[in-house]
Amino acid sequence: MKTNLKQQGMQQVNSFYWDAVRNIVSHSVSRVLVGNFEFWKEDVVQDIIVKIIMKPTLFDESKGSFNSWLSVVARNAALDFIRVNKNYFSVIDLVSPFLMEEEDIDKEALFILLEEAIFRLEKKEKQLISLKFYEQKSGREIASVMNIPEKQVPIYVQRAKQKVVQIAQQLAA
């Protein structure tokens, strides 16, 4: 009987501990992943917690408190996530109409749908989307590459975005 009570007590302590870790990580990640990045917050939090579970020896108490270390690790992981996925996230502008409609949308399916919609664009529109969202070129650079007036670039970008959304909505229907 004592063993069961001891095990239950340890389970409660572990549960409390991991809830506290999760709260610290979630708070730190939330401060970095704002705006469109919030959509991926939970995935980043989960990745960080898994890393902590897999390598608990990474913490060095000589460098400060566990909570401070955890906050720094979470913040840096969130910043790394943005850096690694910078071009990927610039495409969020194209899918934002879909993100606003549903909270529990399958992100992978959404981007597959987006890729299919972009694939169906005309050659110049594909090039424009690629330059703007994947390569993150400036209006001046896009105008130079595509041989169009710089003042027209925002108009062409907006039209291409609208077409991508329209095609994606047709594919999703």
pLDDT exceeds cutoff 90 at 31: no
Domain region containing 12: 2-84
pLDDT value of residue 68: 87
Looking at the structure, do residues 75 and 98 belong to the same domain, yes or no?
no
User: Which of 84, 117, 141 is the C-terminal boundary of a domain?
Assistant: 84
pLDDT at residue number 86:
65
Judgement on whether residues 12 and 51 belong to the same structural domain of the protein = yes
Q: Are residues 132 and 147 in the same domain?
A: yes
Same domain, 74 and 14: yes
Mean pLDDT value across the chain: 78
Q: How many angstroms separate the CA atoms of 98 and 103, rounded?
A: 9
CA atoms within 13 A on the CB side of 111: 7
Q: How many structural domains are present in the chain?
A: 2
d(C-alpha 145, C-alpha 128), whole Å = 9
pTM for this prediction: 0.49
**Distances from the Cα of 138 to the Cα of 96, 149, 153, angstroms:** 21, 13, 9
How many C-beta atoms surround the C-beta of residue 30 within 10 A?
A: 16
User: Do both 31 and 101 map to the same domain?
Assistant: no
For 93-135, write each residue's pLDDT tens digit.
565 555 555 555 566 677 778 888 888 989 999 888 888 877 7
List, in order, residues 6 or more apart from 93 with CB less than 8 Å away: 36, 133, 161
What confidence score (pLDDT) does residue 148 get? 93
Dihedral sign computed on CA atoms, order 57, 63, 65, 67? negative
Same domain, 68 and 127: no
> Would you call 9 exposed, middle or buried from its count of C-beta atoms within 10 A (0-12, 13-18, 19+)?
exposed
Domain boundary among 84, 102, 118: 84
pLDDT, position 79:
84
* Chain segment 128-164, per-residue pLDDT in tens: 888 887 777 888 999 999 999 999 999 998 898 888 8
What's the CATH number where 143 sits? 1.10.10.10
Query: Do 80 and 95 belong to one domain?
Result: no
Residue 56's CB is within 10 A of a number of other CB atoms, namely 8
Which of the listed residues 57, 84, 111 is the one where a domain comes to its end?
A: 84
